[in-house]
Copies of this chain bind each other. A is one copy, B any other.
Amino acid sequence: MTGALAGERASVARLISLVEKGGDSARAAIARLYPHTGSAYTVGITGAPGAGKSTLTDKLISRIRKEGVEVGVLAIDPSSPFSGGAILGDRVRMQDHATDPGVFIRSMATRGHLGGLSLATPQAVRVLDAAGKPWVLIETVGVGQVEIEVAGAADTTMVVVNPGWGDAVQAAKAGLLEIADLFVVNKADRDGAAETVRDLEFMLDLSLAPPPGETAWRPPIVKTVASRGEGFEELWEAIGSHRAYLETDGRLAARRTKRIRDELRAIVVERLYERAGTVCAGDQFEELAASVEARQVDPYTAAESLLSESLS
């Protein structure tokens, strides 16, 4: 623990593995490092598969490093039956920073029990926070309710789209408009970049007005060509503007308060889920499952019997 608090790579890596796994020792570790957290600023990076999120993250790391500060990165990758080779290509690309002691990159798997990802991610962020990283980037694929939720639970969330008909529309369909604090049109050297910017502007125009009494933040739209490192000054500036906006009038604190509540709820759910694991094992479960299969009892009535037995 002291090693991790001092920012030692091996200790940080071990601690993230521990909190990712969950369970009693993870909880004990979080309890100990929690007082040392609260200074990191988190940036969520999300978008459809193939939007160039990993390359963008890579170049954003470089931009942040120019400020002379450290950065931690959580790359949340759908886990795969293949644990090496071409599939890990984009992860490998980020290894540009492998020899930089000021950069800590970690892949996390999306599989696991229900709610696992949305709960494990804030704990991993905390480890990096306690280890003294002032910036933590969280890259997730922007499709799927859990993944979008995780990306949205950052201080600044950027949504990456590509030029081309329908990409902005697909982002809207996936629910990405609501979580975006800024948009990045990556691969902006391709045809259709201007149209995609226009589509996004149009959809932002359609969005609802801010709640009464609140100043609206209108997500800026930044064009990048991540593969060539273009547009990163503008992107860095846009992140800075959003951060400055949040740091005014207690908005950042309010956003973080909401996250704490959400997390507390998620932990309660996780603990109850563990209890469900106990309920859904053993002879009574097997017998009831067999009765449901035989259509002697419906699934809801069966679940009710399991619960009334176990919680009484």
Contact = CB atoms under 8 A, between A and B. Distances in A.
Interface of A: 27, 30-31, 34-35, 37-38, 48-50, 77-82, 86-87, 110-111, 114-115, 117, 141, 143-148, 166, 169-170, 172-175, 177-178, 203, 206-208, 256-257, 260-261, 263-265, 267-269, 271-273, 275-276, 279-280, 285, 288-289, 292-293, 295, 298-304, 306-307, 311
Given A49-B170, A276-B265, A30 B300 contact: yes
Contacts of A267: 299-300, 302-303
Given A77-B173, A311-B311, 7 more contacts: A50-B166, A81-B172, A87-B173, A144-B146, A264-B292, A267-B302, A268-B279
B306 A289 contact: no
A145 B143 contact: no
Contact of A264 (B166, B169, B178, B306): B306
Nearest to A174: B78
A35 B293 CA distance: 10
A272 to B, nearest CB: 4
Contacts of A34: 295, 298-299
Given A145-B110, A166-B50, A27 B81 contact: no
B264 A280 contact: yes
Contact of A144 (B82, B145, B292): B145
Contacts of A203: 82
A34 B37 CA distance: 51
Nearest to A31: B298
Given A170-B50, A267-B303, A300-B30, A80 B175 contact: yes
Nearest to A170: B49
Nearest to A38: B295
A123 to B, nearest CB: 9
A81 B207 contact: yes
B293 A265 contact: no
